[in-house]
């Protein structure tokens, strides 16, 4: 079987998988429908594959010149897409697991925490309450809001997180938004959330992954935009 035949077989398999995924009519193009549900780069790749498929089908006409041979890269891309549709990624699959997350509590001393943030190149640290639930987030926005306030805090060696109490809750963050998401939420939902800017101008900075996406549940992991930039994640 040459590459063209392999490509056509794989394309038809992907098309059928996507029709089933979106509950489309048998005459509909699953690949075409999927283009509007992925990032622009993946949509562009799928558009090229659709055009290539149409050309290959048409060139089978008698006495038609075979002017196109499918590349190995196209075959591998189709196989990759098929694997992702068969085994879709979820929020829990792309999150930073809680064991690797730098957390703080209201009794955490600020200066050592900031040193760890610089060392690990971390800009946002979830702050947990006594029950291990999210109380808020410590970030540059926290410091900025504090400095800009009339009750600015001078950070000393003994300064603890509780002294930033008024600026930690996630609803208090200037220009930043944080949400909770269920561990089994599809990756498409995660990508869509990070692509939104709310009417108040706030951009989503972090998703807290919990069992059912509830704020009263303990964190299983967290997701930032960096966690979904990898091609293996966004190329759905």
Position 38 scores a pLDDT of 84
Query: Rounded to the nearest 10 degrees, how much is the dihedral formed by the CA atoms of 166, 172, 175, 178?
Result: 120
CA dihedral 59, 69, 18, 25 (to 10 degrees): 0
pLDDT above 80 (res 172): yes
Q: Among 44, 94, 45, 97, which Cα is nearest to 194's? A: 94
Q: What pLDDT score does 155 carry?
A: 82
Architecture of domain 93-234 in this structure:
Roll (3.10)
What is the average per-residue pLDDT within 90-104? Answer: 96
Domain map (residue ranges) of the chain: 3-87, 93-234
Residue 234 above 80 pLDDT? no
Distance CA 7, CA 14 (A): 10
pLDDT at 107: 96
The predicted structure's pLDDT at residue 154:
78
More confident position, 12 or 1: 12
Instruction: State which H helix or E strand residue 86 sits in.
Output: helix 72-86
Higher pLDDT, 230 or 38: 38
pLDDT band at 153 (very low <50, low <70, confident <90, very high): confident
Structure tokens at 34: 């999927």
| For residue 35, pLDDT beyond 60 | yes
pLDDT at 7: 96
> What pLDDT score does 101 carry?
96
Distance CA 162, CA 152 (A): 14
Note the pLDDT of residue 20: 95
197 confidence band (pLDDT: 50, 70, 90):
low
pLDDT of residue 61 exceeding 70, the answer is no
Where is average pLDDT lowest: 103-107, 119-123, 192-196, 207-211? 192-196
209 contacts: CB under 8 Å, gap ≥ 6 = 91, 92, 95, 180, 181, 182, 183, 219, 220, 221, 222, 223
Instruction: Report the side by side order of strands in the sheet with 203-210.
Output: 96-97, 221-223, 203-210, 176-182
- Does the pLDDT of residue 236 top 60, yes or no? no
Report the distance separating Cα 185 and Cα 178, nearest Å. 16
User: Half-sphere exposure of residue 1, counting CA atoms within 13 Å on the CB side?
Assistant: 8
Neighbours of 137 (CB within 10 A): 23
Question: Predicted confidence band at 230 (pLDDT cuts at 50, 70, 90)?
Answer: low
**Comparing 157 with 222, which gets the higher pLDDT?**
222
Mean pLDDT of the chain: 89
pLDDT confidence band for 235 (50 / 70 / 90): very low
Q: Categorize the per-residue pLDDT at 232 as very low, low, confident or very high, splitting at 50, 70 and 90.
A: low
pLDDT of residue 30: 96
Which helix (H) or strand (E) segment is 51 a member of? Answer: helix 40-58
């Amino acid at each position: 079987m040459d590459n063209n035949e392999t490509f056509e077989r794989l394309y038809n398999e992907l098309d059928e998988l996507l029709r089933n995924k979106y509950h489309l009519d048998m005459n509909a193009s699953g690949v075409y429908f999927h283009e509007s549900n992925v990032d622009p780069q993946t949509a562009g790749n799928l558009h090229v594959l659709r055009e290539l498929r149409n050309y290959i089908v048409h060139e089978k006409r008698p006495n038609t010149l075979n002017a196109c041979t499918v590349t190995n890269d196209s075959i591998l891309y189709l196989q990759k897409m098929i694997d992702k549709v068969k085994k879709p990624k979820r929020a829990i699959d792309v999150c930073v697991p809680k064991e690797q997350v730098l957390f703080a509590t209201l009794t955490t001393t600020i200066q050592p925490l900031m040193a760890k943030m610089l060392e690990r190149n971390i800009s946002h640290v979830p702050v947990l309450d006594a029950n291990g639930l999210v109380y808020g987030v410590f970030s540059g926005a926290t410091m900025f809001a504090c400095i800009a306030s009339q009750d600015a805090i001078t950070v000393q060696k003994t300064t603890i997180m509780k002294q930033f109490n008024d600026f930690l809750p996630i609803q208090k963050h200037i220009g930043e938004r944080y949400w909770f998401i269920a561990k089994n939420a599809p990756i498409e939902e995660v990508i869509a959330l990070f692509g939104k800017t709310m009417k108040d101008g706030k951009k989503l900075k972090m998703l807290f992954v919990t069992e059912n996406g509830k704020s009263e549940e303990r964190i299983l992991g967290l997701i930032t935009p960096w966690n979904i930039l990898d091609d293996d994640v966004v190329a759905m």
